[in-house]
Amino acid sequence: MSEPNEADQLLALARDGDDDAWGELLERYRPYLRFLARRGMDVRLQARVDASDVVQQTFLEAARDLSKFRGSVERELIAWLRTILEHNVAETIQVHLATKKRSARRERSLDDSNDGGIPLRNQTPDDQSTPSQRVMRGEAAVILARAVEKLPPDQCEAIRLRHFEGYSLKELAEHFQRSETAVAGLLKRGLQKLRDLLAHRAESTDR
């Protein structure tokens, strides 16, 4: 049987009532859950709803229900937090769509297409996921998400949209209002920086 990792130890302390351990544990997963929250919401919804707020709500609910959590290792905690987050993302989408419908009725819009809400790239974090998106699970995904968020903001956004949302270079160019050549350079620099960060982490872990 393998030795428990640091996260497993923190989880054991948290379940015994150590608030500091619980807080440290959740901070490990904030970038990962924020990534999933963004992926679950259409870009126009992201303009209205901060993914960090959805993650914070998830943390509040997790703290409230920690006594109901039956897992004992990190991978089980990650799966549990994902479930709570997915529910919150779905609820956020529904609230937004309902609000939009009410607004459309008040304005007596003649455009029936408005009543259907906005087309979402992913209704929930698991819907229509690409292979790269499906990799974003478990402990390795947490490490990757934390590394991506350490990149400069434009590199982080470019990598997220290109490799996890499936944006084309043309779409990225429109998003950033830059040429496709400039966006390609941005991606190249971001990926190199990401490789360096992951390599440095691996070296530190092996010591």
State which residues form the domain around 105.
Answer: 1-124
User: Directed axis angle between helix 138-148 and helix 19-40, to 10°?
Assistant: 80
**Residue 4 confidence class, pLDDT cut points 50, 70, 90:** low
In a domain, 141, yes or no: no
- CA atoms of 181 and 184, how far apart (whole Å): 5
| Residue 62's pLDDT band (cuts 50, 70, 90) | very high
Q: Domains in the chain: how many in total? A: 1
pLDDT confidence of residue 129: 43
User: Is residue 61 in a domain?
Assistant: yes
Q: Is 99 among the domain residues?
A: yes
Residue 142 lies in a domain: no
Mean pLDDT of the chain: 80
* pTM strictly above 0.85: no
Please give the pLDDT value at position 97.
77
Higher pLDDT: 23 or 127? It is 23
Asked whether residue 197 is domain-assigned, the answer is no
Alpha-carbon span 167 to 170, nearest angstrom: 8
Does residue 133 fall inside a structural domain?
no
| 45 domain residue, yes or no | yes
Q: Would you call 14 exposed, middle or buried from its count of C-beta atoms within 10 A (0-12, 13-18, 19+)?
A: buried
